[in-house]
A and B are shown apart, each in its own frame.
Chain A
Amino acid sequence: MNLVMRLGSLALLLGLWLLGSHLVGARLLPEPQAVGLAIVQEARSGALEFNLAVTLARVAVSFAIAMLLGTVIGLAMGRIPLFDQFADPWLVVLLNLPALVIIVLAYIWAGLTETAAIAAVALNKLPVAIVTVREGARALDRTLDEMATVFRMSKWARLRHVVLPQLAPYLAAAARSGLSLVWKIVLIVELLGRPNGVGFEIGVAFQLFDVTRILGYALAFVIVMLAIETLLVQPLERYVSRWRSKPA
């Protein structure tokens, strides 16, 4: 039933796309089959795979950096009030700095390099991750903490078995919102200062007014991200919440 609904909804979207294409003309909105053909052609030449891989690598690295730093800093801010008071203004500044400003400054200060690109993306994602994890760290159960103290659990055991499982839902939320945020920002970073990747290709297509290619690359990348979500993020979420799924 669920699947039928999803397929029906997708079919309706395709139908509307086709209709729109006929209304405004193929130059502004090419038909779905034309976009599909463009994807196949790009894939045959190898350009699609290359650009997808490059972009995906940037997404993965900057996402990993932002999540790791975000977890450490968020945990520290949630647990140490003094550090929280000190770092909060910085966090507010970072949260409200527009993505574009961070990217442009990173390129100016560090040159049009891979490092600058990844740092800019990670820096955009970082404050959001910190805020989410800090919320989780504030909600940690004090009674379980005392239990760990009384039974003299080691620092590592406490982190792994007491703290991280409590943070898991917050980490999952940060990861999910973070993944979609990161890949969108990666495209902008590529558009502004990288010689390859999906963002770069879309930039070229924009200059040539090649809507078919824009849609082709966008669609291909959305499919990749959807696959990551269903094949990686969702199973992981199910695994960490396995103890929840079976009520008494």
Chain B
Amino acid sequence: MHIKHKSYRTASGGRLHVLDDLFITLANGEVVALVGPSGCGKTTLLRIIVGLERDFEGSVHLRACGSVGFVFQEPRLLPWRTVEENVRLAAPAASEAVLGALFAALGLTAHCRHYPGELSLGLARRVALARALAVEPDLLVLDEPFVSLDAELAARLRTELVELVARRPVTTLLVTHDLDEAVLLADRVILLSASPARVMADVPIANPRRTRSADELAAIRNQITRSSKQA
């Protein structure tokens, strides 16, 4: 599966230059993290990829890509439907077994009948994650999925995500402004510049996700920072 982009110019108000000459390719099953400063157009890029934004120059090719699972920055659940209904509505074809396993893995089994308004933000984000995974997507897109959670909770959710992706590999595009998070989760880290966003560094990480030690993470981190300075 490949995603190719050429230069995008997104108009918001006047012709604001948000993205500039980006060319990104994802290999099948690869987890890629896009890292960049706030407001550099990461979210815009995701919106273009999933087809929510059509006013741009360039092209997106999603080869062999049927379904997309999207985790928005905010959970975006339907407040008038229960947790279970929220997930089922997005993934009407999902089997009982898949849903049950997903709810169990994310610790949501006890909350199936609750309404989103009764959930904490951490739980609501889990539901959003469950919804995106329930469609068994060919492409999983995560837009800062752990932002505004306390560090401990974010760490736990990250581990859960790693476990779930290990269980059923899926091509994943993760957007974050947190380099540590990117290094922890991704097979490849792409560093974006400030707006208009350009690719500053593209660093593959060889070690499998679950075996990375703290020292290694720090080393990779340094390497990425260095390569971005050279660029």
Contact = CB atoms under 8 A, between A and B. Distances in A.
Interface stretch (A42-50, A140-148, A181-189, A219-227): A140-148
B59 to A, nearest CB: 19
Nearest to B90: A151
Determine the main DSSP class of A at the interface with B: helix
Interface in A146-163: 146-147, 149-153, 157, 161-162
A246 interface: yes
A168 B79 CA distance: 13
Contact of B117 (A168, A240, A246): A246
Interface stretch (B7-15, B33-41, B69-77, B170-178): B69-77
Contacts of B78: 144, 161-162, 165
B115 A246 contact: yes
Contacts of A157: 89, 92
Contacts of B72: 143, 146-147
> Which of A165, A240, A247, A248 has most B Cβ within 10 Å?
A248
A144 B76 contact: yes
A147 B118 CA distance: 20
B79 A243 contact: yes
B131 interface: yes
Contacts of B74: 143
A244 B117 contact: yes
A243 B118 CA distance: 9
B110 interface: no
A162 B77 CA distance: 10
A152 to B, nearest CB: 7
Contacts of A153: 89-90
A143 B117 CA distance: 17
Residue from the set A151, A161, A246, A248 with the largest chain B CB neighbour count within 10 Å:
A151
Contact of A151 (B80, B81, B119, B131): B131
B117 A150 contact: no
B118 to A, nearest CB: 5
Contacts of B118: 246-248
Nearest to A246: B118
Given A151-B70, A244-B79, 12 more contacts: A143-B74, A144-B76, A146-B52, A147-B72, A150-B68, A151-B89, A153-B89, A165-B78, A243-B80, A243-B81, A243-B117, A247-B118
Q: Which 3 interchain pairs have the tightest Cβ spacing? A: A151-B90, A165-B80, A243-B115
Interface of B: 50-52, 67-68, 70, 72, 74, 76, 78-81, 85, 89-92, 115, 117-120, 131, 135
Interface of A: 143-144, 146-147, 149-153, 157, 161-162, 165, 168, 240, 243-244, 246-248
18 contacts: A143-B72, A146-B52, A147-B70, A149-B51, A150-B52, A150-B68, A150-B70, A151-B89, A152-B67, A157-B92, A162-B78, A165-B78, A165-B80, A244-B79, A246-B117, A246-B118, A248-B117, A248-B120
